[in-house]
Amino acid sequence: MATTARLGYVNDVLLSVVAGLVGLALGLVGIMAYRGSVLSRGGLPVVGEPTLPEGAAEVLSVIGRAFVILDEVDGVVRANPASYAYGLVRGHTLIHEDLRDMARKVRADGVIAERQFELQRGTMGATNMFVHVRVAPLGEEYILLLADDRTEITRTAAVRNDFVANVSHELKTPVGAISLLAEAIEGAADDAVAVRRFTARLHKESARLAALVQDIIELSRLQGADVVLAGAGIDLNEVLAEAVDRNKLPAEEKRITISVGGTVEQQVFGDRDLLMTALRNLIDNAIRYSPEDTTVGVGLRQRDGLIQVSVTDQGPGIAPEEQERVFERFYRIDAARSRHTGGTGLGLSIVKHVVANHGGEISLWSRPGHGSTFTVRLPVIEDAVENDQTIS
C-alpha cells in the first residue's frame, strides 16, 4: 500500500511539471506569433503625441500679438519674443499667477476666456501695464494665451493732457528769453561788447529750445512706437559702443573720461534706435551732472537671463526723497542747475519709457556727495524662443 501511494504521488508531481512546461511553451509560441504579426505590419506600434493643429504655427507667426503656449503643467513650450518684451515670460515660465489661474480654468472646462489685467511689467515690477488676454485650448493638450498691450490706449487721455500742460510751460522759458535777448541786442546795437554778450546768450537759449523740441518729438515718437511689430534681435555691445561714441564730444569739453567695461553674448529683443536713444541719454545725463576732470563708468554684463547696463557718475548725488521723481517728465531737482547744464528734464523720462517698452526696468542708487548709478536691466532672447522650436 505504501508503495502504491508513493507511485501515485510521483505521478501527480510529474503531471504538474508537464502541465507547467506545456503552458510555458504555449506562452512562448503566443509571444513569437504576436511579434511576427507586428513585424509583418512594419514594426512595433507607435503611440502618437499631441501636436499643434494644422496651420496653427503659421497663423501664430504672423498674428502680431504676444503669444504663449502652455503644456499640461503650465510650462512654456513656445513663446514669441513679444511675450518677453511684455514681461509675461521669463525662461520657460509664465510669470503672472493670474494668467496661470486663467489657463488652468480654461484647461478644466474647455471654454475660451477673455479678461483685461493690470500686470507688473518686467522682472522686478518697476512699472505696470494694461493687457487684454484671451486664453483658449489648442490641440489635444496645449493652452494658447494671446496678449495685447492696452496700456497706451488706457492712459492716452490723461498723459496727453498732462504732457500738453507741461510742454506749454517749458516752452515759455526759452521762447521768452529769446524774445528779451532780441530786444536787448536791438537796444544795444551801438555797444559791440553788449551785443556779443547778448548774442552768446541767444545762442545758448536757442540751443536749449532746439534740444527741448527734439526731446518732445522723441518722446512723442516713443509713445507711438510698437516694439513688438518693429523689434528685432539687438546686440547691446554695438548699441552701447555707439551711444558712448555720440557722447565723446560733450565729455571732452569737460575733460571727462568715459570708461567702458564688459561684454555680453546674447541679444535683447527691441528697437535699435529707441535703445540707442535711451543709452545715449543716460550717459549724457551722467556727463552733464559730473564735475570736470572726472570719470563716468559704463558697465555691461549678463546674469540670470538679464542684460544689465550700469552708468556711474561722480556728481553731487541725489537725496532719497528725490530719487523716485527724477524719472518724471520735466522734473528737476535743481532748476537753476538744470538751466546751467542745458538739461530739458525729459532725458530720464525717455530712458524709463524705452526700457519699460522693452520689458525691462531701470533702478537708481545714489547718495548725496557720492555720485549716482543708474542701472538698466533688459531680458535676453532665449534660444528656444528665438529659434521658434516646433512641438511634435
Q: What is the pLDDT of residues 155-185, one digit of tens each?
A: 665 656 666 666 666 677 777 888 888 888 8
The CATH number for 230-392, chosen from 3.40.50.720, 3.30.565.10, 3.30.1340.30, 3.30.1490.20, is: 3.30.565.10
The three three-digit cell numbers of residue 37, written as one number:
504579426
Question: So where are the chain's domains?
Answer: 1-46, 56-149, 156-224, 230-392
Which residue do the cell numbers 542708487 mark? 365
Which strands make up the sheet holding 142-149, listed edge to edge? 76-79, 66-70, 142-149, 127-138, 113-121
Phi, psi of 293 (to 5 degrees): 60, 40
- CA–CA gap between residue 287 and residue 311 (Å, rounded): 10
Assess if CATH 1.10.287.130 describes domain 156-224.
yes
Q: What beta strand segments (E) does the chain contain?
A: 66-70, 76-79, 89-90, 93-94, 113-121, 127-138, 142-149, 232-234, 257-261, 268-270, 295-303, 306-313, 361-366, 372-379
Per-residue pLDDT at 350: 82
Contact present, 234 and 269 (Cβ < 8 Å): yes
Alpha carbons 324 and 143: distance in angstroms, whole number: 39
pLDDT digits (tens, 9 = 90+) for 267-318: 998 888 889 888 998 999 899 889 999 999 999 999 888 999 999 998 888 8
| pTM, rounded to two decimals | 0.51
Do 56-149 and 230-392 share a fold? no
Q: Which residues are CB-neighbours of 153 under 8 A, at least 6 positions away?
A: 130
CATH topology of domain 56-149: Beta-Lactamase (3.30.450)
